[in-house]
Amino acid sequence: MSKQKDFEKAAELALQEAVSWRSDGVKLPAIPTASKEDMLALFDGGLPETGNSGEAVIEQLIKAAENGLVNNTHPNFYSWVQGSSHPVGVAADILTSAWGQNAAIYQTAPAAAIAEEVAAKWLLELLGLPSSSSLAFVTGATMASFICLAAARSEALKRHGYDLEEEGMSDAPAIHVFLGAEAHATILSDLRYLGFGRNNLVFIDVDDQGRMLADDLRQQMKNFEGPKIVIAQAGHINSGAFDPFNEIVDIARSHDTWVHVDGAFGLWANVVPELSDLCAGIEKADSWTVDGHKWLQVPYDSGFAIVKHPDAHKRAMDISASYLVRDERDGRNPSQFSPELSRRSRGFVVWAVLQAMGKQGVQEMVARHCRCALHLQSRLAEVSGVRILNEVRLNQVAIAFGEGASSEECDRMTNEVIDEIRLENTNFVLGARWKEQVILRISIISLFTDLEHIDSLADSIIRAWAKVAR
């Protein structure tokens, strides 16, 4: 068989499976049926001595994976904060792979570079952030905050007369980083990657929703001399709460300090006029993290690092060498903005999803998910023994079960409710610990989730609780 024919057959089979996975979604179980052993047996038939035909490989891949896939593109998926890979984004992703462009520099991937340039412009407009900001297309929020904080570190030192790029970290003045006591775990990892230790971090008190208390920030910042960075949050992982950005930025400004906002999913609230009060003042920050693969439904992986000061951004990230040929007439050179040189052309997919949804499509979806969260809250409000722990405004609902019992007993009952819901195998849910107790975490973020899905989820939660409370 010719190489082209071999590819054609493999690609046709892959496409057929892709279309069927998406259309079968509603019928598939929410929780995969394959065990670890089943999957190991199917995936590991030994390293092949000789190659196989493309069609046979794809057939085998489907067989090995299909019963171990989590149906996170399904509207009944409520775990983590995971988008559901917009179908048009998936189609664009297939082309991205087929075109095989390496989005490092304009001259070797001009269409990829321009797609990024345009998608970046559209994203800034949609998110209501300053249009002169620079934007990097990365794997997700973890890497986006890493980039923003690298730029912040360089700038914080520069403002104190220290040239980080020239002198390196070892003799740099200590930087103190101020962050909410409930900052997302990945912020702590990013700070570690950037050479910050626990002793450089100043945790600021938070309220019962995990919001940073501005008064404590004001007080704590007075206690430290030298370069500083403040990290705020838009969208707490459990409550969906937002830090008070206006106050935080004002306090930071009085110390000439960079403010970074981790808005992995919450920043999307800024596209909806009725929710934008949550983000008041956010545009005054210096950098922002937001994911494409969460609320924008871009297929994995997709995150955006946005920096108001492109010089600081490039100082921290630029990769240049003589073979990475640049000309001033070129379009954007993506490798100036992110740590990877060779990488996937992430801009095509983002451009395609923005085209497919349009501004109104994104607004409608974000607003619908938040309405769904309120609907779930009101369905559960009638049920005795069910406690909603967060102020529901965004797409998150944090639920605990049992009233008047010991905390251990409530934790046990909440865990049992989660198990019962999972046993029904129609909704994918998981728990977490927040404020010293086990919670059922509901994150409503799948593209097609609507009130009917929430009614079915509420029914399932109520059924599960009735069994556990018996």
Ligand X SMILES: Cc1ncc(COP(=O)(O)O)c(C=O)c1O
Residues that bind ligand X (CB under 6 A): 80-81, 140-142, 184, 186, 235, 237, 262, 264-265, 291, 303
The residue among 163 and 207 lying less far from ligand X, judged by its C-beta, is 207
Closest distance to ligand X from the beta carbon of 292 (Å): 9
Residue keyed to tokens 């693969």: 293
CA 338 – CA 136 distance, rounded (Å): 6
Contact 235, 204 (CB under 8 A): no
Q: Which is nearer to ligand X, 184 or 260 (CB)?
A: 184
Structure tokens at 81: 């904060």
Complex with ligand X: residue 74 or 294, whichever CB lies closer: 294
| Least distance between ligand X and beta carbon 178 (Å) | 17
Residue nearest to ligand X (CB): 140
Tell the smallest beta-carbon distance from residue 82 to ligand X (Å).
Answer: 8
| Smallest gap from residue 289 Cβ to ligand X (A) | 7
Q: H or E segment at 5? A: helix 3-24
Closer residue to ligand X (CB): 303 or 402:
303
**What does the DSSP 8-state code read for residue 77?**
B
CB of 81 to ligand X, least distance (A): 4
392 touches 410 (CB < 8 A): no
Distance from C-alpha of 43 to C-alpha of 141, rounded to nearest angstrom: 30
- Identify which of 103, 128, 89, 101 has the alpha carbon closest to the alpha carbon of residue 306: 128
DSSP assigned state of 283: G
Q: Name which of 401 and 434 has its Cβ closer to ligand X.
A: 434
335 and 105 Cβ atoms separated by less than 8 Å: yes
* Least spacing, CB of residue 294 vs ligand X, in Å: 7
**Distance of closest approach, residue 280 Cβ to ligand X, in angstroms:** 18
Q: Considering the complex, what minimum distance in angstroms separates the CB of residue 191 from ligand X? A: 13
Task: Provide the minimum distance between the beta carbon of 260 and ligand X in the complex, in angstroms, as a whole number.
Answer: 11
Q: Which is nearer to ligand X, 106 or 434 (CB)?
A: 434
Our CB check for ligand X shows the closer of 7 and 300 to be 300
Q: From CA 403, how far away is CA 412, in angstroms rounded?
A: 12
Q: How far is the CB of 156 from ligand X (least distance, A)?
A: 21
With respect to ligand X, which residue has the nearer C-beta, 172 or 430?
430
CA dihedral 145, 146, 148, 152 (to 10 degrees): 130
Residue 393, both tokens: 């405004």
- Amino acid letter, residue 278: L
Quote the strand ranges of 308-385, DSSP E: none
Nearer to ligand X, 109 or 144 (CB): 144
Q: Which is nearer to ligand X, 71 or 238 (CB)?
A: 238
Q: How far apart are CA 431 and CA 46, in angstroms?
A: 37
CB of 251 to ligand X, least distance (A): 21
State the DSSP string of 147-187. HHHHHHHHHHHHTTT--HHHH-STTSPP-EEEEETT--HHH
Query: Which of 54, 140 has the CB closer to ligand X?
Result: 140
* 294, 265 Cβ separation under 8 angstroms: yes
Residue 2, sorted as left (phi over 0), alpha (psi -120 to 50) or beta, turns out to be beta
Query: Strands (DSSP E) along 196-302, which ranges?
Result: 201-204, 228-233, 258-262, 287-291
In whole angstroms, give the CA distance from residue 91 to residue 352: 9
Closest by Cα among 101, 119, 117, 58 to 298: 119
User: At 305, is the secondary structure helix, strand, or coil?
Assistant: strand
Q: How far apart are the first and last CA of the chain?
A: 65
To ligand X, the closest distance from the beta carbon of 230 in angstroms equals 16
Which residue, 366 or 458, is less far from ligand X as judged by CB?
Answer: 366
How far apart CA 205 and CA 202 sit, in angstroms, is 10
